[in-house]
Amino acid sequence: MNVATILKAKGTDVTSVSPDTTLRDVAVLLTERRIGAAVVMQDKKVMGIVSERDIVKAVANGGGNALNAPVRDVMTSRVVTCSLNDSVDELMDSMTMGRFRHLPVIENGELVGIVSIGDVVKHRIAETVMETEALRLYIANG
């Protein structure tokens, strides 16, 4: 199972914001869409990623006023990405090593989707259930 399989099931929609969006507006967007991160884009280029963690940290350090700051001040600029052919195992390694839960998908230099840790866990469980069922049938018919 790879990233292409995951995107086929969940779709290719990616929530993106511009670097000058305020943290308040990002917080509203993440809440409305029930997601944990947005990709920061400018002129169709990935400039960074901002997650709920970044907003919590900004508020912890600067209080409520921090919500007026633009996302460019708190986003992570060095974005780790994945590609359509990457396996679920590779995604899990990448998320574990980088200690983050989101991976934008890039193909031919373009953003074509995003995978979260929730998607990875969901597909990993589905894979395990399928393997168990195959083994059960094999043993039953053996």
Where on the chain is the footprint of ligand AMP (CB under 6 A)?
36-37, 49-54, 76, 79-80, 98, 100-103
Nearest distance from residue 114's CB to ligand AMP, in Å? 9
Residue 12, SS3? coil
Using the minimum distance from each CB to ligand AMP, give the nearer residue, 39 or 137. Answer: 39
Q: Which is nearer to ligand AMP, 109 or 129 (CB)?
A: 109
Closest distance between ligand AMP and the C-beta of residue 57, in Å?
A: 7
Rounded least distance, CB 24 to ligand AMP, Å:
17
Cα separation, 38 vs 83, in Å, equals 18
In the complex, which residue's CB is closest to ligand AMP?
Answer: 51
- Which lies closer to ligand AMP via its Cβ, residue 102 or residue 123? 102
Cβ closest to ligand AMP, residue 78 vs residue 142 = 78
Residue reference for tokens 């997650």: 51
**CB closer to ligand AMP out of 79 and 123:** 79
Beta strands in 64-141 (DSSP E): 102-107, 110-116
**Encoded amino acid at 89, one letter:** D
Phi then psi dihedrals of residue 114, to 5 deg: -145, 140
For residue 22, give both structure tokens: 């305020």
| Residue 12 C-beta: closest distance to ligand AMP, Å | 17
Residues with Cβ < 8 Å from 24, sequence gap 6 or more?
A: 67, 68
Nearest approach in angstroms of CB 112 to ligand AMP is 14
70, 22 Cβ separation under 8 angstroms: yes
